[in-house]
Structure 1
Amino acid sequence: MKVTIIGGAGKMGKWFINYFLKSGHEVTISDKRREDAKAISQSMNVRLARSNIEAVKDAEIIVVSTPINVTPKVLGEISEKIPKLATVIEISSLKSQVMFELRKIAMKGVKTLSIHPLFGPGTAEAFEEKIALVPVSNPDYELKLAKNVFPKAKLVVVDVEEHDKAMALTLSLPHFMNIVFASVIGQEDINALKKLGGPTFTIQLALSEGVMSEDPLLYSSIQIDNRFTVQILERFISNANTLKQHITEKKSTDFLQFFGNTQSLLLKDSEFCEAYERMYKILEVFKEERKPKSDW
C-alpha cells in the first residue's frame, strides 16, 4: 500500500516510517523541516513530497503526525485532496481540538481513525503496546479498521472527553511533577546525589531526565492545550500544601493520617501490593544497563 506520513521528520513520524516499511508498504513523507526531512528520506529510502497536498495524492493511508496545535490546520489543508478510498489516521495526544476537522473529513465518506499511541518513539514496534482509539463517527467499524492497521497492538476504545481528562492525569500531572523535581535537583550536585541516592531517587531521577530530554514544544502543548490540566494541577498543589503544612508544623499524627488515607485510596489498584517488588525489578534493569560491556 501507499502510505503518506505528514510530519515524517518528527520522532513519532520516524516511528511510523519504520512501522510501515517493515510491513512492506511504500512510504512518502512531508514535513516543513525540509533539511531534516531530506536526511530522513535519504537514510530510510522513502520519498519526500514537496508539500502536504502532493504527499496525499494517490495515498491509501495518510498518517498525520504533527504538533497538537498544528494538526487541525493540516487536516483542513488536505481535506479536499484526500483520495476517496484512503484512510486518514491522526495521532495527537489530545483529541478535543482535532475532532471537529476529522469529523468533517469523515462526513465526506473518507475512512478516519483518531488514535493516540500510548508509548514513545523509542518503542521497537507496536507489539502488545497500547493504542487509544477515539471514535470519530463509527466506533465498531473504526475498531475493526484499527485492528487491521495495527494487528499486534492492544487497542483501548475511549471517548474524547474521557481521553483528554485521562491525559491530564497520565501525562500532564507526571510531566509537571518531573519538571519541578528536575528544577530543584538541577540546582544541586547531581553526581554526588547519585552516589548517595537509593532506589526511589534513582528511578525518579531517570524519569525526570527522560521527561527533560523530550521536545519542550510538545510538552508545553500537553500542559497548556488540555482544558483539564489546570484543575488536576490545582488538586495536586492543594494536596502538596496540606502535606507540607503537616511537615512544617511537625504534626506526625496528621502526616500518618494523610499517608494512611492515601494508601487506602491506592488499594483500588489490584497491583498495589506488588508495587515495592516492581520498584526493585525496575532498579535491577537500570543496574543491568549500566554494567560495563565486555569486549569479548
Structure 2
Amino acid sequence: MFVAIIGGAGKMGSWFARYFIEHGHDLTIFDINMDKANLIAESLGIKACKSSAEAAKDADLLLVATPIEVTPKVISEVALALKEGSILVEISSLKSMVFPVLKEISKRGLRTLSIHPLFGSGARGIAGEKIALIPVNDLRLEEKLVREIFPEANIIPVDCYTHDKIMALTLSLTHFINIVFASVISEENIHMLKQLSGTTFTLQLILSEAVMTEDPSLYASIQMNNEHTIKYIDKFICNVLKLKNIIENRDSEGFTQFYNEVRRALFRNSDFEAAYRRMYHALKAIR
C-alpha cells in the first residue's frame, strides 16, 4: 500500500511515518516546514513532496496529521487530488470541526476514517495502545478497515459528540489543572520541593512537567476549539471556590462531607484501595 502523510514533519505525523515503514508500506510525506520534512524524509529513506496534492495523487491511504484549526481545509484540498477508492484518515484531537468535511468528501467515492490516537509520539509501538474510532458513515465497515490498518491497537468506537465531551475532561481540564499547578510551584524552590516531596506530589510534579514540555499552540488549540471546555473549567473553579471557602472557615465537618461525597461518587464502580496501590507501583516504575 502506498501511504502519504500530510503533516509528516510533526510529532505524530513522523511517528506514523515510521509505523507504516516498519509495516512494509511505501511512503511519502508533505509538511509546510519543508526543511524539517526533508530531514525526516532523508532519515527514513523516503521522499518529501513539495505540495499536498503531489503527495496525495498516488496514495492508497492518506493520513492527515495537521493542527486542528487547519485540518478541515487540508482535508478539502487533498481530497480533490485523491483517486477514487482511496482511504483518507485524519487523527485530530477534536472531531466536531472536521466531521462536516469528512461527510462531504465521502460522497465522492473516498473512504474516510476519523481516529484519535490516545497516545503520544513517545509510544514505542502501537501494540496495546488505544485508538478512538469516530464513525463517519458506517461503523461496521470503518471498524473493519481501521483494524486492518492497525491490527495490534485497541480500537474504541465512540460518537463525535461523546468523544469531544470526554476530551474536554481528559485533555482540556487535565491540561488546565496541570498548567495552573505548574504556574504555582514554578515560583517556589523546586529543588527543595523535590527533596521533601512524598508520593502524591512526586507523581503530580511528573505529570505537570510532562505537560509543560509540549507545544503550547497544540494545548491552546485543544482548549479553545472544544465547545465543552469552558463548562468543565467553570465547574472546576466552582468546586475550587467551594472547598476554599470550607478551608477558610475552618469547617472540618464540611471538609469531611465534601471529601466523602466526592470519594463515594468517584469510586462507585472502582476499587480505591487498588488505586492507591497502583500509585505506588507507578512511582516505583518511574524511579
Superposition map of 1:38-57 within 5 A: 38-57=38-57
Matches within 5 A, 1:1-296: 1-287=1-287
AA of the residue aligned to 1:181: F
**SS in structure 2 at match of 1:81:** coil
Q: Give the aligned residue type for 2:64.
A: V
TM-superposition CA deviations, 1:22-63 (whole Å, max 9, x none): 100011000001111111011111210000000001101100
One-letter amino acid of the structure 2 residue matched with residue 89 of structure 1: V
Cα distance in structure 2, aligned partners of 1:239 and 1:223: 20
Opposite residue 51 of structure 1, the aligned amino acid is S
Deviation at 1:269, TM superposition (A): 3.5
Give per-residue Cα distances to partners, 1:61-109, cap 9 Å, x unaligned.
1000000001001011112111112100000000000011111111112
Give, in angstroms, the shift of residue 123 of structure 1. 0.4
Specify the SS of the correspondent of 2:156. strand
Give the counterpart letter for 1:236 in structure 2.
F
Paired with 1:18 and 1:256, the residues of 2 have a C-alpha distance of: 51
Q: How much is the aligned-residue C-alpha RMSD, in angstroms?
A: 0.8
Gapped runs of 5+ residues in structure 1? 288-296
Moved more, 58-67 or 102-111: 102-111
Q: Percent identity?
A: 49
Could you list the structure 1 runs, at least 4 aligned residues long, displaced by more than 4 angstroms after superposition.
none
User: CA shift at 1:212, angstroms?
Assistant: 0.5
Greater shift, 78-87 or 188-197, is seen at: 78-87
Deviation at 1:284, TM superposition (A): 0.3
Matched residues in 1 for 2:250 and 2:61: separation? 61
TM-score under structure 2 length normalisation: 0.99
SS at match of 1:29: strand
State the distance in 2 between where 1:199 and 1:161 align. Answer: 36
Shift of residue 279, structure 1, vs aligned partner = 0.5
- Inter-partner Cα distance in structure 2 for 1:141 and 1:106: 13
In the aligned structure 2, how far is the partner of 1:146 from the partner of 1:71? 20
Q: Distance in 1 between matches of 2:26 and 2:244?
A: 57
Deviations 1:122-156 (A, max 9, x none): 00111011100000111110000011001011111
Q: Which runs of 5+ in 2 are unaligned?
A: none
Q: Distance in 2 between matches of 1:228 and 1:273?
A: 32
How big is each residue's C-alpha offset from its partner over 1:233-255, in whole Å with a ceiling of 9 and x where there is no partner? 11111011101111111101000
Aligned length: 287
Q: Could you list the per-position Cα deviations for residues 141-193 of structure 1 after superposition, in whole angstroms to 9, with x for gaps in the alignment?
A: 00000110010111111111000000001100110000000000111111111
Structure 2 residue identity aligned to 1:143: E
1:242 partner letter: K
How many angstroms apart in 2 are the aligned matches of 1:256 and 1:206? 28
Distance in 1 between residues matched to 2:78 and 2:37, nearest whole Å: 19
1:10-29 deviation line (CA, Å, top 9, x unaligned): 00011101110110001100
The one-character-per-residue Cα deviations of 1:214-248 (angstroms, maximum 9, x if unpaired) are 01111001100000000011111101110111111
